[in-house]
Amino acid sequence: MRIYLDLCCFNRPFDQQSQLRIRLETEAKLRIQERVVAGELELAWSYMLDYENAANPFEERRTAIATWKLRAMTDSEQTPEVLATAKALASLGVRAKDALHVACAIASGCACFLTTDDGLLKKLSGYAEIWVTDPTTFVRQTEQ
């Protein structure tokens, strides 16, 4: 299964871990990474991940996240198809950068788009083009 993690997911292990939800999402995200390394899951990457990660003020985090690009099976660039899909997503109320991430995931043939953004999860709940979920739900539903 090919998956796309947005930058919220990649940053989750660097977040303050005092809340249970954040710890659970961190553990789930790390489990997903283990499955990518083991070849059980295929990771997709995009120019949007490069763009957003480059803006991270913490060099250690930026570098750690960027190394995952080397494991990606695909690297989506901006295309007319990506922009058209993002425009359609924006018409549903999805923020521009989020819409571009989801559009890149769709263009890369991903079955699942992973995020920890509650607003995005709510807006794209039941979206037909791609399964949009959080890391904890993904692990629970794919490892039964």
Closest CA to 132 of 8, 21, 116: 116
Taking the CA of residue 108 as centre, how many other CA atoms within 13 Å lie in the half-sphere pointing to its CB? Answer: 29
Residue 37: partners with Cβ closer than 8 Å, 6 or more residues away = 71
Query: How high is the pLDDT of residue 92?
Result: 95
What are the φ/ψ torsions at residue 74 (nearest 5 degrees)? -140, 155
How high is the pLDDT of residue 51?
98
User: From residue 12, how far is each of 6, 16, 81, 86, 136 by CA, in Å?
Assistant: 10, 9, 30, 24, 12
Domain boundaries, the chain: 2-142
Question: What tokens appear for 55 in the block?
Answer: 């803006």
This model's pTM is above 0.85 = yes
Instruction: Flag residues of the chain having pLDDT under 50.
Output: none
pLDDT digits (tens, 9 = 90+) for 100-141: 999 999 999 999 999 999 999 999 999 999 999 999 999 999
**Rounded (10°) angle between helices 96-107 and 47-54:** 140
Q: What is the CATH number of domain 2-142?
A: 3.40.50.1010
How would you class 118 by CB atoms within 10 Å of its CB: exposed for 0-12, middle for 13-18, buried for 19 or more? exposed
List, in sequence order, every residue forming a beta bridge with 5; answer none if it has no partner: 114
